[in-house]
Structure 1
Amino acid sequence: MYSQRAIFIDAGFLHAAGGMHVAGTSLRKATRIDHERLIKGILETTEKHSGLDLLRLYWYDAAKDALFTPEHKKIGLLPGVKVRLGRMSYEGNQKGVDLKLGLDLVGIARNRAASVGYLLSGDDDLAEAVEEAQDLGMKVVLVCLEDASSRLGVRSVAENLALRVDSIINIPNSLIETSFLRQVLESPGPVEPLPGDPTQASPAGPASGTAAASSSSADALACAPQPARPTPLNIKPARPKKPLEYTPPQFAVSESTLVYSSTHHSSGLVLGSEEDAPLSVATEVGARVATHWYGTVTQQELSDLLVDRPLLPADIDRVLLKDCAQIIGEYKTDYRSIRHELRRAFWAELEELISGKRV
């Protein structure tokens, strides 16, 4: 077996874990990432740990119809990096990403192309692939983000996976904080123009979603023939708000029992009753996701969301549940009262942001 290292990165896991650390939410639009800096830092961390040359860094992500986006092309052109894409479903779920990662991990171990594999993922579906690679002679090291509040000491990693790897190392928090940039606007940006449509053109950038941009667009639409698409929603601009600062909520878990189950994936904590679940956490998570979502969309996207109220798109609902589970665990997130409060808090915060009542 060659004395080389191979790196396997689940981009969805890395985006979510980094987003939670920097912005307090796994909502992908809430952060902008310097991928070159991030990948360089991961290469340096793994090289320092093993001292081995690099075989290749595999970057696994999902895209519509598994087609490369401009972002994926930019990542794929970095030296030593190979992008492998799964499909993104209509509901926003990744399809085929874990399968590709697991097959590559086992394939490289079987071909003896690398002696150490560094895995950046938290999905316990990869536990069997890890053990298969180990049986073929490869050492598998889990690379994580440190989280002192977690029982495992790392963020977003299933215990079933953590127990099967040979060792765990952490990415420096400084790397995440310099590679992930939190971006939240004061209000939705202007409607994205359609090709060849002068009525939608706006010189304002995405950071200037002001009333002037909205009124000029509305005046142009009023004078021009009505297009065969929804009219942008005129929204009262919100008054300037203080930047949202994320502070992980503190709460005590009472009367908890440690259990072991082969039928449920969880952190291992089960509460005695639904009333013990901290609804205040769900309230904070719902409001925070609403704030980040509101600051990263266009007015047309906001209009489309309000049309279907009180229903939430699957991608937003998934972020709410994932972010809440990061703090209180999957068992408590399954409580009906918690899920109801997440969605109620999201809509309540969105109403305040639109009306400008929140200061």
Structure 2
Amino acid sequence: MRSTCSLYIDTGYLLASAARRVTGTSLRSGIHVEYRRLIDSLIALVQDQSGLPLLRVHWYDSAHNGVPDYQQQRIGELAKVKLRLGRVGYEGQQKGVDLRIGLDLVTHARNKTSDVFFLVTGDDDLTEAVEEAQVHGVQVVLLAVPVNGDRPHGVSKHLLRAVDDLQVVDGAIIDDAALKVELDAAPAAAVPAPAVPAPKPGPSPRDLATSRPIATPAKAPAPVLAYTSSTGADSYVAAEYQRTPCEETVPEALTPDLIDRIAEQVVNSFLTSSDENAKAALAHSRPSIPRDLDRALLLDACEAIDVYDLPEQARFRLRNRFWDRHDALSAAGR
């Protein structure tokens, strides 16, 4: 059998990293991507680095109910591209994508489909799958997207130790295929002032003399929205159990100024790339933060201080400042 190489692309990582490079934040909606150009360039890259022809590109993404949208269908129709979809969960979380990547790596290695696997991801959850694939005699090379010069974006240290090599994608490949989205802000329509209702007549002296106070049962304190440790997920906490969101220490590197800068970059990217319907939907979701925005906040913070995960108190402060910066930028007409 002829020797070949195969390319495995974690779309969430690729697009978040491309957005980070182009817009300064990991928000995927902030960029427009020429997918054919990007995939063709990555194919040329892996064939040049390995000296082997490409067998296939495996493109991993999530979709509602596992059904591809229009853009995913077009990607799946490209030559040598195999579309592999997970699901989008009830709360917007990605389901099954990492599992599909891991299973494919091990199965393809066992069946010796290619000699060299190129993996575009930074996810720590794939470390064991990479090591299992290597047991079957394949090389696994990690391809990372560069940000801030040649620095690879969002690569887990465990994954880095497991792979056979790390190659940083030429930044020109990303810059040529990913463009920053900037929508023209439409002038806001004038909102008529609300009509002031006529005052209702007050009670007569007879009413006051004969009226008796009616006892009303005390209402239980309303629950408040609280974030769990999972990105963007929310839950309600009974009032009697409310306390400070978390007592964990915020990393010293994550200063208030840095938190403000990260929150402002994410908000600014969203406001400049979103139409009025998307902005209204965000305002309606308050105080919850949509998962894609929340994920961008956490990814950017992790990247800024070079950690893989954040304690709950740091997440709370990022989310709190998100709404502060949203209100400030919206008031400024962004």
* Same fold by TM-score greater than 0.5: yes
- Look up the SS of the partner of 1:295 in the other structure: helix
Structure 2 matches for 1:316-327, cutoff 5 A? 316-327=293-304
Task: Give unmatched runs, 5+ long, in structure 2.
Answer: 193-247
Shift of 1:272: 9.0
- AA in 2 matched with 1:57: V
- Distance in 1, matches of 2:251 and 2:141, equals 37
Counterpart in 1 of 2:31? 31
- Percent identical residues: 35
- Distance in 2, matches of 1:61 and 1:77, equals 15
- Look up the SS of the partner of 1:92 in the other structure: coil
- Distance in 2, matches of 1:175 and 1:314, equals 28
- Distance in 1, matches of 2:295 and 2:26, equals 10
Segment of structure 1 superposing worse, 299-308 or 3-12: 299-308
- AA in 2 matched with 1:352: A
- Distance in 2, matches of 1:140 and 1:2, equals 18
- AA in 2 matched with 1:6: S
Counterpart in 1 of 2:135? 135
- Look up the SS of the partner of 2:101 in the other structure: helix
- Distance in 2, matches of 1:127 and 1:315, equals 24
- AA in 1 matched with 2:64: K
Counterpart in 1 of 2:173? 175
- Distance in 2, matches of 1:56 and 1:64, equals 25
Segment of structure 1 superposing worse, 312-321 or 32-41: 312-321
Distance 1:300 1:171, change over 3 A: same
Structure 2 matches for 1:315-354, cutoff 5 A? 315-330=292-307, 333-334=310-311, 336=313, 338-354=314-330
Task: Give unmatched runs, 5+ long, in structure 1.
Answer: 188-208, 220-270
- Distance in 1, matches of 2:283 and 2:300, equals 22
- Look up the SS of the partner of 1:140 in the other structure: strand
Counterpart in 2 of 1:124? 124
- Distance in 1, matches of 2:124 and 2:2, equals 28
- AA in 1 matched with 2:331: S
- Look up the SS of the partner of 1:3 in the other structure: coil
Counterpart in 2 of 1:210? 187
- Distance in 2, matches of 1:352 and 1:75, equals 39
- Look up the SS of the partner of 2:162 in the other structure: coil
CA contact (8 A) 1:274 1:332 kept: no
Query: Are 1:280 and 2:257 counterparts?
Result: yes
TM-score (norm 2): 0.76
- Look up the SS of the partner of 1:62 in the other structure: strand
Structure 2 matches for 1:144-155, cutoff 5 A? 144-147=144-147, 153-155=151-153
- Distance in 1, matches of 2:13 and 2:153, equals 10
CA contact (8 A) 2:260 2:325 kept: no
- Distance in 1, matches of 2:316 and 2:182, equals 25
Counterpart in 1 of 2:236? none
Structure 2 matches for 1:62-101, cutoff 5 A? 62-101=62-101
Task: Detail structure 1 runs of 4+ shifted over 4 Å in the superposition.
Answer: 147-150, 271-276
- Distance in 1, matches of 2:309 and 2:130, equals 29
CA contact (8 A) 1:2 1:112 kept: no
- AA in 2 matched with 1:287: E
Which of residues 268, 282, 290 in structure 2 aligns to 1:305? 282
Cα RMSD between the aligned structures? 2.5
Counterpart in 1 of 2:206? none
Shift of 1:291: 1.1
Structure 2 matches for 1:253-292, cutoff 5 A? 274-275=251-252, 277-292=254-269
- Distance in 2, matches of 1:171 and 1:275, equals 31
Distance 1:303 1:99, change over 3 A: same
Shift of 1:21: 0.8
- Distance in 1, matches of 2:184 and 2:329, equals 9
Count of residues paired in the alignment: 279
- Distance in 2, matches of 1:173 and 1:302, equals 31
- AA in 2 matched with 1:353: L
Per-residue deviation, residues 97-148 of structure 1 (Å, max 9, x unmatched): 1111111111111111111111111111111111111111111111112346
- AA in 2 matched with 1:347: W
- Look up the SS of the partner of 2:112 in the other structure: coil
- AA in 1 matched with 2:301: C
- Distance in 2, matches of 1:286 and 1:279, equals 11
